[in-house]
Chain A
Amino acid sequence: MLEDMKAEDIVGEYKEVTLDLYKLGSRKILYTEIETPYPDGKLIVSTTNVEGVISHVNQAFIEMSGYAEEEVLGQPHSILRHPDMPPAAFKDLWDTVTSGKKWQGIVKNLRKDGGYYWVKATVIPNIRNGQVAGYTSVRRKPSATVVDESIKLYPTLF
Chain B
Amino acid sequence: MSYMFTVSPDFSPDRLSGWYIFNTWMQRQMGVDIHLELYDDFCAQRVATYSNKIDLIYANPFDAAMLVREKGFLPMVKPEGLLDEAVIAVSAESSISTMDDLTAKLKVAMTEDPDVNMIGMMLLESADLNDDNIEKSIFDSYILVAKSLLRGNDDVGVFLAGSYDDLSNMVKKQLRILLTSEIGEIHHSFLIGPKFADRREEIQNLLIGMNENEKGQGVLESLGFKSWEKVDDEEMEFMIDLMDTLSV
Within the assembled complex, what's the spacing in Å between the Cα atoms of A117 and B237? 29
* B171-200 interface (Cβ within 8 A of A): 179-185
Which residues on the B side are within 8 Å of A122 (C-beta)? 245-246, 248
Give the A-B pair count, Cβ closer than 8 A.
60
Contact B128 A144 (CB under 8 A): yes
Q: Nearest chain-B residue to A136 (Cβ)?
A: B241
Q: Nearest chain-B residue to A43 (Cβ)?
A: B183
Contact-residue bracket for chain A: 20 to 34
Which residues on the B side are within 8 Å of A43 (C-beta)? 183, 185, 242
Within the assembled complex, what's the spacing in Å between the Cα atoms of A102 and B244? 9
Residue B123 lies at the interface, judged by CB distance under 8 Å to chain A: yes
* B220-244 interface (Cβ within 8 A of A): 234, 237-238, 241-242, 244
Q: Nearest chain-B residue to A146 (Cβ)?
A: B128
B244 to A: closest C-beta gap in Å: 6
Contact A140 B238 (CB under 8 A): no
Find A45's partner among B179, B185, B234 (CB 8 Å cutoff): B185
A136 to B: closest C-beta gap in Å: 5
Contact B184 A141 (CB under 8 A): no
Which residues on the B side are within 8 Å of A60 (C-beta)? 182
Residue B92 lies at the interface, judged by CB distance under 8 Å to chain A: no
Within the assembled complex, what's the spacing in Å between the Cα atoms of A38 and B248? 19
Contact A41 B242 (CB under 8 A): no
Contact B245 A143 (CB under 8 A): no
Within the assembled complex, what's the spacing in Å between the Cα atoms of A93 and B99? 30
Residue B126 lies at the interface, judged by CB distance under 8 Å to chain A: yes
Q: Nearest chain-A residue to B98 (Cβ)?
A: A40
Contact B125 A143 (CB under 8 A): yes
Q: Which residues of A contact B (CB under 8 A)?
A: 38-43, 45, 47, 58-60, 102, 104, 122-124, 126, 128, 136-138, 140-145
Residue B4 lies at the interface, judged by CB distance under 8 Å to chain A: no
In order of increasing CB-CB distance, the 10 nearest A-B pairs are A122-B245, A141-B126, A138-B245, A143-B128, A41-B181, A42-B182, A41-B182, A145-B128, A136-B241, A41-B179
Contact A126 B241 (CB under 8 A): yes
Within the assembled complex, what's the spacing in Å between the Cα atoms of A83 and B125? 27
Residue B167 lies at the interface, judged by CB distance under 8 Å to chain A: no
Q: Nearest chain-B residue to A39 (Cβ)?
A: B182
Contact B126 A140 (CB under 8 A): yes
Residue B127 lies at the interface, judged by CB distance under 8 Å to chain A: yes
B10 to A: closest C-beta gap in Å: 20
Within the assembled complex, what's the spacing in Å between the Cα atoms of A44 and B147? 34
Q: Nearest chain-B residue to A40 (Cβ)?
A: B179
Contact B245 A102 (CB under 8 A): yes
A30 to B: closest C-beta gap in Å: 29
Within the assembled complex, what's the spacing in Å between the Cα atoms of A128 and B68? 12
Q: Nearest chain-A residue to B86 (Cβ)?
A: A41
Which residues on the A side are within 8 Å of B66 (C-beta)? none
Q: Nearest chain-B residue to A122 (Cβ)?
A: B245
B68 to A: closest C-beta gap in Å: 12
- Given A41-B180, A41-B181, A42-B182, the answer on whether A136 and B128 have CB atoms closer than 8 Å is no
Within the assembled complex, what's the spacing in Å between the Cα atoms of A143 and B122? 11
Find A128's partner among B128, B237, B245, B248 (CB 8 Å cutoff): B237
Which residues on the A side are within 8 Å of B181 (C-beta)? 41-42
Which residues on the B side are within 8 Å of A126 (C-beta)? 237-238, 241
Within the assembled complex, what's the spacing in Å between the Cα atoms of A143 and B246? 15
